[in-house]
A and B are shown apart, each in its own frame.
Chain A
Amino acid sequence: MAELSPVTGRYVTIDVLGDQCKVFFLENGDPNSQPLVCQHTAGCHNHQWRYLLEDEEVTSDYRVIAYDLTNHGKSDPPANKAWWKEEYRLTAEWYTAFITSFCDALELRDPIFMGCSFGGNEALQLALHHPDRFGGIISVEGADYSPGFFLDWWQHPHANAAQVSASGVWDLMAPQSPDSDRAATWFYYTQGSEAFRGDLYFYSRDHDLRGRLGEIDTSNCPLVMLTGEYDYLTTPEDSKRTAEGIAGATFIEMEKIGHFPMSENYPVFKTYMQQALQKINEEHKAAVG
């Protein structure tokens, strides 16, 4: 008998600000359960959520959906434009439109959004611009501003871009995380160097919510921020500072883990993620009475 995973993969075609995007997503869980929509990190793909997607304890309560952002994994660049004639630079406006369009296409009701790294920053953009669209938001390794990583080294033609991208993020992971999962995360990073730099345009340049955190309304959309203590890019101090600027936001520091928690050490991440989901559940119930 073949050992088949309960995780299924499908494509959906969506419109994002006029771009025709055929999006690949993986999912597991009851279609009627509350969706938990997961965003991978910059230059990567949805396989970072592999353990969560197969975690029965979570999928028995949530419909876990992990997509590949356009230009990543199995989601091709937009089909209706000559994308190869322009430099790829992800903007906050496009990224936000992508996620709302994706959720609309799947007719998701009250989804919880969970994004990591540049997805954690995007989570804050969603909290600012579309709190009415989500049942809760989890920003993993996110901050109001995260400069310093929009670098040309990621695509330098005289170096091996795949290895530079992968080894450049190696020590964003904690030394306590298992070698096999750190190596797998490294491997995923060898696959996305062409998108990595453009993603980091959003991460380190276009995303800048300094001075705007007070506008985020968490009254009907609980916001929890999780950051690993070994993350040298978005440090726990960065996330804590950000959460303190948002009324009602919760910050939880994660010990002995780094910037790719769901991929580098899922059992450790899970304990914190469950705290976040519980917090969202409690606050959402309180908000709706």
Chain B
Amino acid sequence: MATPTVMADDWVENFTRVCNQDEELQAHGKHFDCSYMLQMGNHNYQVVMHRGRVEEILVDPGPLDQRYQFLLRASEDTWQEFGKTEPRPMAHGIWAATFREDMQMQGDLLVLMQNLRCFTRQMELLRVSGVPVQEDVSAPKQREPSQ
């Protein structure tokens, strides 16, 4: 697997901060406890959530490093589009992209469903943090995280 770029390290920091500062996520994340994998093109990002806060993000973890419960996978193009302020139709949501684009939900979908509200919100915070597949991952001018 290719070496993660510095861009990914910046994203880990941005995404952690954006999530942990988000008023909506913090208001409803008391029981948001799970570990999930985001597969973005050739890279994997394992997000470990505890009580609504990002506890850890592993970049390209080894196959047995840490267990996770579900996985969300899509091509770089889909994630890049998803991260835009106005994504094209069908790449604008995790259900939309799963039904109509190349996104896939895998693993224990019950855990995904149990955390659907917060997980949905968290994925849309990628529009604030940027996604680590873009050349420029600086946060675009759009909906800001709650302060």
A160 touches B143 (CB 8 A): no
Which of B47-55, B86-94, B130-138 binds A? B86-94
A232–B92 Cα distance when bound, in Å, is: 10
A: contact size bracket: 20 to 34
Cβ–Cβ contact B85 & A168, under 8 A:
no
**B116 pairs with A230, CB closer than 8 A:** no
A175 contacts the other chain (CB 8 A)? yes
Partner of A230, one of B96, B110, B113: B96
| Given A164-B116, A166-B117, A174-B92, CB of A233 within 8 Å of CB of B99 | yes
A176 to chain B: which residues have CB within 8 Å? 86
Given A230-B92, A232-B93, A232-B100: A175 touches B87 (CB 8 Å cut-off) = yes
Determine if A167 and B117 form an interchain contact, defined as CB atoms under 8 angstroms apart. yes
- Assuming A179-B143, A232-B90, is B114 touching A171 (CB within 8 A)? no
Interface class of chain A by DSSP: loop
Task: From B86, B90, B114, B120, give the contact of A170 (CB < 8 A).
Answer: B120
User: Contact partner of B110 among A159, A168, A179, CB < 8 A?
Assistant: A159
Give the distance in Å from the alpha carbon of A121 to the alpha carbon of B46 in the complex: 41
* Bound Cα distance A156, B143 (Å): 32
Q: Are A168 and B95 in contact (CB under 8 A)?
A: yes
Among residues of B, the one whose C-beta sits closest to the C-beta of A259 is B96
Residues of chain A lying within 8 A (CB to CB) of residue B92: 171, 174-175, 230
B120 surroundings in chain A (CB, below 8 A)? 167, 170-171
A153 at the interface (CB under 8 A from B): yes
B110 touches A158 (CB 8 A): yes
Kindly state whether residue A31 has any CB partner on chain B within 8 Å.
Answer: no
- Mark interface residues in A172-190 (1 if CB within 8 Å of B CB, else 0): 1011100100000000000
CA distance A148 to B89 in the complex (A): 19
State A164–B112 Cα separation when bound (angstroms).
Answer: 10
Chain B residues closer than 8 Å to A235, beta-carbon distance: 90, 100
In the bound complex, how far is the Cα of B65 from the Cα of A65, in angstroms?
Answer: 59
CA distance A158 to B114 in the complex (A): 7
Q: Are A229 and B93 in contact (CB under 8 A)?
A: no
Contacts of B99 in A (CB 8 A): 148, 232-233
Rounded to whole Å, the gap between the CB of A191 and the closest CB of chain B is 15
Inter-chain pairs besides A153-B109, A159-B113, A167-B120, 8 sampled, C-beta below 8 Å: A148-B99, A153-B113, A159-B116, A160-B117, A172-B96, A174-B89, A175-B87, A256-B86
Q: What are 15 A-B residue pairs whose CB atoms fall within 8 Å in the complex?
A: A148-B99, A153-B109, A159-B110, A159-B113, A160-B114, A163-B116, A163-B117, A164-B116, A168-B116, A170-B93, A171-B92, A172-B95, A175-B85, A230-B96, A232-B100
